[in-house]
Amino acid sequence: MTKRTIKKVIALEARLRHCKNVMTLGVRPNFSDYSPQEADLIRQAQKVYYPTTFYAELFDAMGKITFPSYHTYKCVQDKIKQTALLNLLEVPHPRTRVFYGKRQKNAICNHFKFPFIAKIPRGSAMGRGVYLIQNHDDLISYLSLSTAAYIQEYLPSDRDMRIVIIGKEVVHAYWRIARKGEFRSNVALGATISLDPVPQKALDLALDTARKCQWDDVGIDIVEHDGKLYILEANMKYGREGFRQAGIDYTKLMENMIEEQRI
């Protein structure tokens, strides 16, 4: 009986390092730091997995396919771009405005009434950099933290839905329930995970949004308020605790999706 040879794909970032059918080369800040053999593997690969934001842009310029897509990387941890794209595509999203400079920031209270949400628009994750602004003192404190003020209407809720889309399909969905006294539903901030069924209309909205935005590896957060669903934001660097609690082997899932050419 002959032993089956596992055909390996190429990845740069370490996210798939435990997958048996992935060869992870690591991320080199200078392409010349790759060995000649590694450089040839990258050049000859039909697709490069998890190339990083930097290399995704370069690979797109040369016509090489990546996973996640170049369009996914363009919106990584950039709430301003995400909001503009969601509004452009008419995706339901909490009313949001970005204010630049002292004159614009002085007009925030003309557009929003307390309480409202303020976020650090770029680079923040896991609920950090998200503030509930209840008065002028809160607003002044927030404005000292960010050059651009990202202000969003507050939709009170003690829970939201995290829907993870990989490739063109929903692979997992669950509820995140905020701990008592906390307005954010992030697991990193003490929220609990509920595996109760997520409404089909939320799954459909997440999948349709990912398709329109050309995001193919994303955790989309959705809240229901007054009977309406809203996309809160997209997380391209989502955690895997929800997979663990559901008994889903993330590594095996990715191995199968690669082998079956679903990603």
CATH of the domain at 139: 3.30.1490.20
Residue with more model confidence, 5 or 88: 88
* Type of residue at 241: E
pLDDT digits (tens, 9 = 90+) for 152-176: 999 999 999 999 999 999 999 999 9
Residue 205 lies in a domain: yes
Residues 102 and 169 in one domain: no
- How far apart are the C-alpha atoms of 92 and 222, rounded to whole Å? 10
User: CATH no. for residue 190?
Assistant: 3.30.470.20
Query: Per the confidence metrics, is the pTM higher than 0.75?
Result: yes
Residues 176 and 249 in one domain: yes
The whole domain housing 225 covers: 159-259
Helix (H) or strand (E) holding 101: helix 101-105
Residues 57 and 118 in one domain: no
Residue 215 lies in a domain: yes
Terminal Cα distance for the chain, rounded? 30
Instruction: Tell me whether strands 22-24 and 9-11 are parallel, antiparallel or unpaired.
Output: parallel
- How far apart are the C-alpha atoms of 137 and 236, rounded to whole Å? 33
pLDDT of 127 > 70? The answer is no
Asked whether the beta carbons of 212 and 201 are under 8 A apart, the reply is no
CA separation, residue 237 to residues 1, 196, 217 (Å) = 42, 23, 9
User: In the prediction, which pLDDT does 240 show?
Assistant: 95
Q: Which residue, 50, 67, 84, sits at the end of a domain?
A: 67
Residues 170 and 252 in one domain: yes
